């Protein structure tokens, strides 16, 4: 079947519908949802029963980049700075040194067992060197794993921040494959340029995005998520334009925004949560359509060998060395190593050699695809079992609910108190978003005369208002009172 304007919506909607319904029951059989989406795409493709002819790496790469924007941005918004701050340096070490060591060790192994040149081997190692944010976010949250000692924030921080490193290494070694006369040291300036400019741009656009979201007055609440999407793409595109790493920039920008007081933040979070799932489905379906299963068969042997080496040797070596200066029990390091899921990101990165037209591009793509599938199948299905085996899992009753969960799920607080805004209060004529309100307390309703107002971040507090506030404990109400009265807070 050829995709045309007339049938693309029909085919696309049917594939989405099948994916959603199939994903609902997939975990009953222990199959990760993302692998199921990939399988549906393969079945619908030219080698499958659907017979859809799709062989456009450029379009697949575009869809992949757009999808990764949403996935990384959503993951950043959902990252609690309070949770990741204690493990910040561990996360940075994993996402930089860990990725580099994984790429080098795997590339060296590929060089020994294949006829690849050293640069082609390092290119393959770089493509699969990072953990996949979509796979980690999706599987950890779907399985609702509760882990000890800040393990979960460490894993999510690593997966959300290590794609930029793998992206830079992929572009660097692809450049060396194309230009054989260049020295390996020539890629170092590009690396520092990408990472430094990406980091600076992420912080700068984070401040700018918060200012725009909170200061602009839009007539409809539904426009604020649209504004956030525009700012997300602006951050990525502008950073890429100046030579920085756009993936790093949007993740840093999103982490900053997710930990700030924003107007209609709840609406923005809910929208991005849904769009992240949509983009994961679209991304895996697209990559499933792009691959030709018949072309993978000749590489099953070599692909399995490389995949096992990556899981058993390359990833653990990268983890152990990058974390050697941190105090951490061996079983925690072992579990971090096991959650080295490869998913859609390596497959997206594998389209770069295809578009560059290098000699072994097809072979690299098929091997990378096989590595991603086996990683999700082997590691993704055993996360809970390995967590219990290594004794890093918490009991079911010990699972904590985060501030983001409360925003998304509308969970009730422990008590309700009312606060009347008196004439000398600092909060008069101030917007809620500007009050630096405690994270653990929410204004659920405002009584103004005979009216009841549903508050939002842009709601202005008036003298005589009665605020109905939900909070966790009595200490929170003391902080709320001081916040409303005193400008110092």
Examine the pLDDT at 1 and tell me if it is beyond 60: no
What's the average model confidence in pLDDT over 8-30?
Answer: 64
How would residue 310 be classed by pLDDT, with cut points 50, 70 and 90?
A: very high
Q: Is there a single domain that holds both residue 360 and residue 445?
A: no
Could you read off the pLDDT of 130-164 as tens digits, one per residue? 887 666 766 666 655 667 777 888 887 888 788 88
pLDDT recorded at residue 7: 64
Chain-centroid distance, C-alpha 255: 11
What's the average model confidence in pLDDT over 463-475?
Answer: 80
Examine the pLDDT at 395 and tell me if it is beyond 90: no
Question: Total structural domains in the chain?
Answer: 2
Q: Is there a single domain that holds both residue 328 and residue 437?
A: no
Examine the pLDDT at 454 and tell me if it is beyond 90: no
Query: Can you give the length of the chain in residues?
Result: 489
User: Computed from CA positions of residues 121, 139, 269, 207, in that sequence, does the dihedral angle turn out positive or negative?
Assistant: negative
Secondary structure of 173-194 as H, E, C letters: HHHHHHCCCCCHHHHHHHHHHH
The average confidence (pLDDT) of the chain is 82
What's the average model confidence in pLDDT over 75-79?
Answer: 85
Confirm whether 390 is domain-assigned.
yes
What's the average model confidence in pLDDT over 4-21?
Answer: 69
Could you read off the pLDDT of 153-192 as tens digits, one per residue? 888 788 878 888 898 899 989 999 998 777 777 778 888 8
Q: Is there a single domain that holds both residue 441 and residue 464?
A: yes
Confirm whether 31 is domain-assigned.
yes
How would residue 5 be classed by pLDDT, with cut points 50, 70 and 90?
A: low
Which tops the pLDDT comparison, 262 or 37?
262
Strands (E), 249-301: none
Confirm whether 320 is domain-assigned.
yes
Confirm whether 469 is domain-assigned.
yes
pLDDT recorded at residue 31: 53
Which tops the pLDDT comparison, 289 or 89?
89
How would residue 45 be classed by pLDDT, with cut points 50, 70 and 90?
A: confident
Residue where one domain finishes, among candidates 341, 364, 398 = 398
Confirm whether 2 is domain-assigned.
no
What's the average model confidence in pLDDT over 310-324?
Answer: 93
Confirm whether 1 is domain-assigned.
no
Examine the pLDDT at 468 and tell me if it is beyond 80: yes
Q: Is there a single domain that holds both residue 362 and residue 470?
A: no
Look up tokens 């949403």; give the residue: 70
Residue where one domain finishes, among candidates 365, 398, 431 = 398
Look up tokens 């910040």; give the residue: 88
Q: Is there a single domain that holds both residue 126 and residue 48?
A: yes
What's the average model confidence in pLDDT over 337-361?
Answer: 87
What's the average model confidence in pLDDT over 192-210?
Answer: 92
Confirm whether 406 is domain-assigned.
no
Q: Is there a single domain that holds both residue 338 and residue 479?
A: no
pLDDT recorded at residue 138: 65
Residue where one domain finishes, among candidates 398, 432, 467 = 398
What's the average model confidence in pLDDT over 464-471?
Answer: 84
CATH assignment at residue 464: 3.30.70.1450
How would residue 409 be classed by pLDDT, with cut points 50, 70 and 90?
A: very low
CATH assignment at residue 13: 1.20.1530.20
Could you read off the pLDDT of 54-70 as tens digits, one per residue? 778 888 889 889 988 99
Q: Is there a single domain that holds both residue 291 and residue 333?
A: yes
Q: Is there a single domain that holds both residue 391 and residue 425?
A: no
Cβ contacts of 489 within 8 Å, gap of 6 or more: 436, 479, 482, 483
Cβ contacts of 114 within 8 Å, gap of 6 or more: 121, 302
CA–CA dist 68, 160 (Å, integer): 10
User: Per residue in 161-200, is it b (16+ CB within 10 Å) or e — as a string?
Assistant: bbbbbbbbbbbbbbbbbeeeeeeeeebeeebeebbebbbb
Closest CA to 282 of 34, 7, 6, 21: 34
pLDDT recorded at residue 489: 43
What's the average model confidence in pLDDT over 332-337?
Answer: 90
How would residue 397 be classed by pLDDT, with cut points 50, 70 and 90?
A: very low
Examine the pLDDT at 122 and tell me if it is beyond 70: yes
How would residue 408 be classed by pLDDT, with cut points 50, 70 and 90?
A: very low
Confirm whether 17 is domain-assigned.
yes
pLDDT recorded at residue 398: 46
pLDDT recorded at residue 130: 86
Examine the pLDDT at 99 and tell me if it is beyond 70: yes
Q: Is there a single domain that holds both residue 291 and residue 192?
A: yes
Q: Is there a single domain that holds both residue 280 and residue 391?
A: yes
Range of the structural domain that residue 480 is part of: 413-485
Q: Is there a single domain that holds both residue 172 and residue 259?
A: yes
Could you read off the pLDDT of 428-448 as tens digits, one per residue? 888 887 777 776 677 878 888
Question: Helices 223-241 and 57-77 sit at what angle, rounded to 10 degrees?
Answer: 120
Q: Is there a single domain that holds both residue 371 and residue 443?
A: no
Secondary structure of 297-364 as H, E, C letters: HHHHHHHHHHHHHHHHHHHHHHHHHHCCCCCCCHHHHHHHHHCCCCCHHHHHHCHHHHHHCCCCHHHH
């Amino acid at each position: 079947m050829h995709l045309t304007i007339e049938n693309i919506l029909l085919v696309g909607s049917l594939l989405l519908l099948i994916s959603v319904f199939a994903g609902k029951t997939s975990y009953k059989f222990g199959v990760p949802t993302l692998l199921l989406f990939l399988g549906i795409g393969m079945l619908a493709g030219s080698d499958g029963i659907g017979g859809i002819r799709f062989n456009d790496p450029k379009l697949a790469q575009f869809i992949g980049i757009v999808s990764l924007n949403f996935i990384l941005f959503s993951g950043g918004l959902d990252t609690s700075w309070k949770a990741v701050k204690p493990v910040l340096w561990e996360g940075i070490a994993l996402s930089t040194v860990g990725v580099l060591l994984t790429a080098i060790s795997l590339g060296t192994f590929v060089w020994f067992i294949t006829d690849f040149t050293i640069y082609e081997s390092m290119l393959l190692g770089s493509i699969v060197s990072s953990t996949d944010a979509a796979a980690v976010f999706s599987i950890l949250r779907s399985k609702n794993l509760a882990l000890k000692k800040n393990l979960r924030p460490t894993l999510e921080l690593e997966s959300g921040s290590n794609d930029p490193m793998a992206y830079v290494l992929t572009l660097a070694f692809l450049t060396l494959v194309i230009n054989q006369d260049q020295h390996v040291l020539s890629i170092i300036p590009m690396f520092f340029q990408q990472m430094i400019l990406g980091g600076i741009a992420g912080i700068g656009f984070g401040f700018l995005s918060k200012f725009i979201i909170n200061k602009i007055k839009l007539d409809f609440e539904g426009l604020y998520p649209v504004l956030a999407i525009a700012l997300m793409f602006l951050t990525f595109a502008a950073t890429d334009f100046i030579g920085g790493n756009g993936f790093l920039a949007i993740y840093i920008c999103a982490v900053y925004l997710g930990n700030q007081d924003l107007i209609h933040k709840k609406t923005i979070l809910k929208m991005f949560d849904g769009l992240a799932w949509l983009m994961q489905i679209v991304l895996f379906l697209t990559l499933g359509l792009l691959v030709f299963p018949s072309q993978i068969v000749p590489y099953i042997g070599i692909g399995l060998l490389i995949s096992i080496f990556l899981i058993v040797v390359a990833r653990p070596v990268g983890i152990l060395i990058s974390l050697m200066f941190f105090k951490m029990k061996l079983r925690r390091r072992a579990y971090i190593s096991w959650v080295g899921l490869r998913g859609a990101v390596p497959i997206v990165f594998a389209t770069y050699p295809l578009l560059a037209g290098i000699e072994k591009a097809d072979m690299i793509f098929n091997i990378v695809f096989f590595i991603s599938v086996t990683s999700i199948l082997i590691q993704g299905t055993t996360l809970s079992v390995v967590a219990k085996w290594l004794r890093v899992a918490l009991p079911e009753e010990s699972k904590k609910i985060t501030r983001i969960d409360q925003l998304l799920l509308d969970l009730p607080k422990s008590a309700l108190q009312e606060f009347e805004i008196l004439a000398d209060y600092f909060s008069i004529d101030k917007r809620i978003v500007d009050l630096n309100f405690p994270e653990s307390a929410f204004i659920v309703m405002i009584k103004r005369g005979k009216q009841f107002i549903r508050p939002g971040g842009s709601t202005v507090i008036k003298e005589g208002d009665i605020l109905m506030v939900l909070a966790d404990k009595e200490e929170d109400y003391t902080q709320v009172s001081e916040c409303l009265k005193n400008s110092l807070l």
